Structure 1
Amino acid sequence: MLTEINPKLPMRDKAITKDYYVNKLGFQFFGDKDFDGYLMIHKDSIQIHFFEFKELDPKENYGQVYIRTNDIDKLYQTLLDNKISIHPNGYLETKPWGQREFALLDPDNNLLTFGQSV
């Protein structure tokens, strides 16, 4: 029986990725060990894992994760207040498929889409 999912996304530089997710998006470092070339972060009830890929070309990165939330308007406003860049095509809006969504690109161009059912 499936119980949860922890996406694994590529990163070029662990320090930059950790800084973005922890200091800008409010995630926390997960675990009590620091693994070489691997990063685990969490916020509320989700985890995201990252693996080192130094040769990654961000323009060719198609890493994506869809994150559900129960207060998308507050999350969106918090990110705006903290001067977090929203994807140019990902501003908050209600989609025809019944989701209210917005999206960000992390430093390696991994697409983070946040959504809430309407």
Structure 2
Amino acid sequence: MLTDIHPKLPMRNKNITKNYYINELGFTELVNVDYKEYLILKKDNIEIHFFEFKSLNPKENYGQVYIRLENIEAFYQSLLDNDIAIHPNGPLQNKPWGHKEFALLDPDSNLLTFGKKI
């Protein structure tokens, strides 16, 4: 039986990634051990792992994760209220597949899509 999934996304700079997810999106660092080239962050029931990829070209990064959440409107509004950039093609909208979604890009162009079934 499968129980959880923890995606691993590339990061060029651990401090920049950590700052974005903690200070912009409200994640916390999961472990107190500083793994030089690895980062584990958590928010609610979502855990994302990051591995160092210094030569990553953000224009060629196809890292993506889809995150389901309960109160998508409130979370979306909190990002807008805090001037967090929403993906230009990803504002909050109902999709034909029955989900309300929005998207953003992290500092390394990992695509984070947030969605809720409607």
Is 2:49 the partner of 1:49? yes
Amino acid at match of 1:85: A
1:82 match: 82
1:34 match: 34
Shift of 1:108: 0.2
Q: Which runs of 4+ in 1 moved over 6 A?
A: none
Q: Aligned equivalents of 2:73 and 2:47: distance in 1?
A: 21
1:99 match: 99
Shift of 1:34: 1.0
Q: Spell out, residue by residue over 1:71-115, the C-alpha distance to the aligned partner (whole angstroms, 9 max, x if none).
A: 000000000001000000000000000000000000000000000
Q: Aligned equivalents of 1:97 and 1:34: distance in 2?
A: 41
Q: Spell out, residue by residue over 1:50-74, the C-alpha distance to the aligned partner (whole angstroms, 9 max, x if none).
A: 0000000000000000000000000
1:4 match: 4
SS in 2 for 1:39: strand
Q: TM-score, normalised by structure 1?
A: 0.99
SS in 2 for 1:9: strand
Q: What stretches of structure 2 of length at least 5 have no aligned partner?
A: none
Q: Aligned equivalents of 1:71 and 1:52: distance in 2?
A: 32
RMSD over aligned CA atoms reads 0.4
Q: Aligned equivalents of 1:34 and 1:23: distance in 2?
A: 18
Q: Aligned equivalents of 2:29 and 2:79: distance in 1?
A: 19
Amino acid at match of 2:72: I
Q: Aligned equivalents of 1:46 and 1:107: distance in 2?
A: 19
Amino acid at match of 2:43: K
How many residues align? The count is: 118
Q: Aligned equivalents of 1:63 and 1:117: distance in 2?
A: 23
Q: What stretches of structure 1 of length at least 5 have no aligned partner?
A: none
